[in-house]
Amino acid sequence: MDKFIDPNRAQFEAFKGLDRDKPIEMLNLVRLRDVAAYPEDHPLAGEDLSGADAYANYGRATGPIFQRVGGTILWRGTFETTLIGPEDEAWHVMFIAHYPTAHAFLEMATDPDYQREVVHRQAAVETSRLIRCDTAQEGSVFG
C-alpha cells in the first residue's frame, strides 16, 4: 500500500484552485500505524504509543479548531471489508467531515495551533485518503 500522509504541493494547489465559497465534504479514510512514529525531537518520541493513541491526541488537540471553523462530522463508520477495490486497503478510521466553505477548511489547516498539533496525525497515520467532495442532491437511485 502506498503511503499518503500529507498532500503534495500539486494536490494542495488543485484544492485551493476550486471554488472556496461553497460548502464541502471531506471523505477521510485512515490506516493507522501499529506504533506511533513521532519525530525524534518531539516530547512523545520514544513513548510506547500506538497509532490509535497518537490519532486520539490529534483529535483532542485539533477538535476545538475544527469546531471553531464550523466543521461537523456528517458520518462515521467502521471498516468491515472491501467488495470492489484493492484488497490491501483496510481502514481504521472512516468519516465524512463537513465544512461551511473551503475557506473554513483552509483556515483550520493553516491555523498556527493546528500546524503545531498536526504532528500527532503524522505520527499516527500509515496511509490515508482525503477526498474533497461537492455536496449533491439526495436521491433514491444511483447516478
pLDDT tens for each residue of 51-83: 999 999 999 999 999 999 999 999 999 999 999
Q: Give which of 72, 79, 35 is closest to 55, Cα–Cα.
A: 35
Q: What is the pLDDT of residue 47?
A: 94
Q: What phi, psi does 84 have (nearest 5°)?
A: -135, 125
- Determine the Cα–Cα distance for residues 121 and 114; give it in Å rounded to an integer: 11
Q: What is the pLDDT of residue 111?
A: 97
Looking at this protein, which amino acid is placed at residue 125? V
- Taking a C-beta distance cutoff of 8 angstroms, is the pair 37, 123 a contact? yes
Enter the DSSP assignment of 6. S
Q: Would you kindly state where each structural domain of the chain is located, as residue ranges?
A: 22-134
Q: Classify domain 22-134 at the CATH topology level.
A: Alpha-Beta Plaits (3.30.70)
